[in-house]
Amino acid sequence: MRRIAEDLRRRDGTIAFVPTMGFLHDGHLALMREGRQRASVLVVSIFVNPSQFGPNEDFERYPRALQKDLEKIERIPADYVFAPDTRAMLPADTETWVEVTGVTRGLCGAHRPGHFRGVTTIVAKLFNLVQPHIAIFGEKDFQQLRAIQKMVHDLNFAVEIIPHPIVREPDGLAMSSRNAYLSPKQRNEALALSQSLFAARELSAAGTRDPDAIVQAARRVLDRSADIKLEYLEAVDWETLAKPSAHRSMLLAVAARVGDTRLIDNIALHNPA
Ligand code: AMP
């Protein structure tokens, strides 16, 4: 991969890169289309990264469908698909890890110890291998996006990070490979996540900027569903993910379990001023 990337760069190609864990849906494909438009070469990676899963998480049963994924990528089309095997990417003798501190402390970082360290280490390796000029990341994983932006800034990676808006199902559910775990009944329950965020957005648009009031409005919607186990529901500063202020743009972020499936979603509440 590295040799190909160096060749491409020598030939004046602009390389766009979309890293994924596969089991592709329209959210992933939207990122790829954006990369396709912005660069002459599009590289997609598929790698289910064991180092970002906790010991009791779903690494083993994470859905995989390489052949179907390749067919979907073919229709974009991408120029290269990089799908390394686990040991090649993460040899047993690995002793070096990339850890972003501040922005990874709260939200998912507080509930998934080591998760972001696994993400940033693998993304750093992928950047070194693929040598992209730009890389596209979804706002669905907003804290991940901020962690990668911080890593790129702090470690002087020569790659521009392009955020892509969340792609939702027509009824509002944020697309996710993990939605495949949901039974029809659970999928219906899961709608409460996006609905709670939309309720908060309405309140914010009507002029309520108090973070506590916004969180309460969202919580009222989530409380209606007995089958949702809330992990966190928090308003944070949209840029720093630290304590929010009514005068600045906020991010309202939620993580919850529906059955055994952990889902996340978020919405930006921009300061209209
Ligand atoms: P994953 O395969 O879940 O690791 O996701 C790969 C990339 O796709 C990440 O940048 C995600 O943020 C992005 N992504 C996943 N789901 C969505 C979605 N519904 N909308 C936009 N981006 C997404």
78-92, pLDDT tens digit by residue? 999 999 999 999 999
Catalytic residues: 28
pLDDT digits (tens, 9 = 90+) for 205-248: 999 999 999 999 999 999 999 899 999 999 999 999 999 999 99
Q: Which residue has the tokens 């901020």?
A: 146
Which residue minimizes the CA distance to atom 14 of ligand 1?
Answer: 138
Percent of the chain whose pLDDT exceeds 90: 97
In terms of Cα–Cα distance, which of 126, 125, 130 is closest to 9?
A: 130
- Which atom in ligand 1 lies closest to the alpha carbon of residue 136? 10
- Ligand 1 proximity of 65 Cβ (cutoff 6 Å): no
pLDDT of residue 22 exceeding 80: yes
What is the value of pTM for the model shown? Answer: 0.98
Environment class of 114 (CB within 10 Å of its CB; exposed 0-12, middle 13-18, buried 19+): middle
Q: Is the CB of 140 under 6 A from ligand 1?
A: yes
Residue 57 Cβ < 6 Å to ligand 1: no
Residue matched to tokens 């506590």: 212
In sequence order, the β-bridge partners of residue 135 are: 17, 161
For the segment 263-267, the average pLDDT, to the nearest whole number, is: 98
245/118 Cα distance (integer angstroms): 30
Question: How many angstroms separate the Cα of 216 from the Cα of each of 219, 221, 247?
Answer: 5, 9, 18
How many of the other CB atoms lie within 10 Å of CB of 239?
13
In angstroms, the CA 20 to CA 32 distance is 10
Q: How far is the CA of 79 from the centre of ligand 1 (A)?
A: 20
The pLDDT-based confidence of 125 (bands split at 50, 70, 90) is very high
Confidence of residue 124 (pLDDT cuts 50, 70, 90): very high
Question: With bands split at pLDDT 50, 70 and 90, how would you rate the model's confidence at 272?
Answer: confident
How much distance in Å is there from the Cα of 164 to the middle of ligand 1? Answer: 9
pLDDT in tens, 150-201: 999 999 999 999 999 999 999 999 999 999 999 999 999 999 999 999 999 9
Task: Name the β-bridge partners of 155.
Answer: none
What are the distances in angstroms from CA 145 to CA 19, 103, 119, 207, 248?
12, 10, 10, 28, 19
Mean pLDDT (the chain) is: 97
What pLDDT does 18 receive? 99
177 Cβ closer than 6 Å to some ligand 1 atom: yes
Cβ of 35 closer than 6 Å to ligand 1, yes or no, is no
Residue 57 half-sphere exposure toward CB, CA atoms < 13 A: 20
197 Cα to the center of ligand 1, angstroms: 18
Residue 19's pLDDT is: 98
